A and B are shown apart, each in its own frame.
Chain A
């Protein structure tokens, strides 16, 4: 059990399922999904987890996403809070419209303006960006460098990323089915999430451990043995057994295989209940790690593991179900995996 903890004093989520943590968790427990064709670019018939409230307007869609997140915050940001921004491509729509700019840096600058927190830190670790940012913020809090951190994760649905994943053959032909025996790829989504972390006790929960490492194996594929991911989980858990796992669960053959291998190594007899929110809202890239903790905390507080959306037949070794399940404890393990063999594990606990 780690000696220190970082408290979660606030959480926010702006996704295609809703603008509050409560709305999102209600939808997850009901098994609702939010996939549709985007109106802001030609996705060539593919459906994505698009937030149509972001449609229209003349400025950057990514900037509108940040503004929406600010509008749904239901907690105050203490003075002296440090901003951490997790994203993969940031305001990529600026580049799509001809701008020759560092789109991640533009996203960071806009987040600094929107939340009134200059001097922020951009954290980019592919699809593990969200949890990596949370871990960095947690360590600075526990080291006493800062008292509070606002961790924002976000990415928009874009032609840039959609065509890139399509080129890699990573897209599902229909819709992503995380941890399903017949899964055939991912579905992209767009969202933003925020966590107010603090060293001062209080709030709805805490993060009791986090660890990251790398496979050093392949630039796009995870190590299918899940060995290093299991190692990250072990380090984050510190000997504890979680009541459930909020997995990365993209629905690609390799990602889910690596995760189940890691969880099988860790819990050979009885793997905890598992769930991925990508079956509901798609892969939201830089947002996913932040959302997994924000929504995971509320699910742990309610004591419910949602049904796995789009599940037909669980893949071997995956403790997933098509119906909600009661959690036996208040602690959840959350996983992120990213291009380059990046692994991230975080442990959250409802208080």
Chain B
């Protein structure tokens, strides 16, 4: 397996990439980050039509994925799959939807908030933005990236974006399970693996 690119979005809204060792930001907000990132030479244009509709998690995922694609060479295969792993799941989105429903007297839920209550949603939005038509799933295992690598190794041969989204950060790595690059580092989090691979400052 070979990791050919990656991006870590920090809590300060700074984007750090793995292969090109580039740094962008820190940005004051995600809308400004979007404006600057899409203008960078070689960054895939992406379909960001849903950027405003999605919550903060979706926006962070979209921008991190755009830079991950850029870091991995700019153009990614259309059959790229996406595996979300661990992180914070969608607990915050579940609470937001349920509290809104409860605060409104339990009369009717709000569809826009309900859609966000699946941990795959940010990754599906990434797939739409980048045109990735491979399989998509969110996996939770023990805090050990070797479990993610073993599941990735047996997945359909091809390229994958592996993502980890927490309340404050977002990390994505671009992996090709057909290429021989050894087993990526065993770490507690994907962000730790990003650092172990040489990413960050």
Decide: B101 and A163 in contact? CB cutoff 8 A: yes
In angstroms, Cα B173 to Cα A163, docked, is: 36
Q: Which residues of B contact A (CB under 8 A)?
A: 50, 79, 81-82, 88-89, 91, 94-95, 97-98, 101, 106, 108-111, 114-115, 117-121, 123-125, 127-128, 130-142, 147, 150-151, 153-156
Residues of A within 8 A of B (CB-CB), count: 55
In angstroms, Cα B150 to Cα A151, docked, is: 17
Q: Which residues of A contact B (CB under 8 A)?
A: 42, 88-89, 92, 95-96, 100-105, 108, 119-126, 129, 132, 136, 139-140, 142-143, 145, 159-160, 163-169, 211-220, 228, 338-342, 344
Shortest beta-carbon distance from B150 to chain A in Å: 6
**CB < 8 Å A-B pair total:** 159
Known contacts A88-B118, A213-B79; is-contact A167 B108 (Cβ 8 Å): yes
Shortest beta-carbon distance from B112 to chain A in Å: 8
Known contacts A163-B108, A339-B115; is-contact A121 B101 (Cβ 8 Å): no
In angstroms, Cα B146 to Cα A339, docked, is: 28
Decide: B98 and A218 in contact? CB cutoff 8 A: no
A contacts with B: majority SS: mixed
Decide: B89 and A105 in contact? CB cutoff 8 A: yes
Shortest beta-carbon distance from A19 to chain B in Å: 28
Nearest 6 Cβ contacts at the A-B interface: A340-B124, A164-B114, A212-B135, A163-B109, A122-B140, A167-B111
Decide: A164 and B117 in contact? CB cutoff 8 A: yes
In angstroms, Cα B115 to Cα A164, docked, is: 8
Shortest beta-carbon distance from A225 to chain B in Å: 13
Shortest beta-carbon distance from A233 to chain B in Å: 14
Decide: A164 and B140 in contact? CB cutoff 8 A: no
In angstroms, Cα B79 to Cα A165, docked, is: 30
Closest to A168 in B: B111
Shortest beta-carbon distance from B87 to chain A in Å: 10
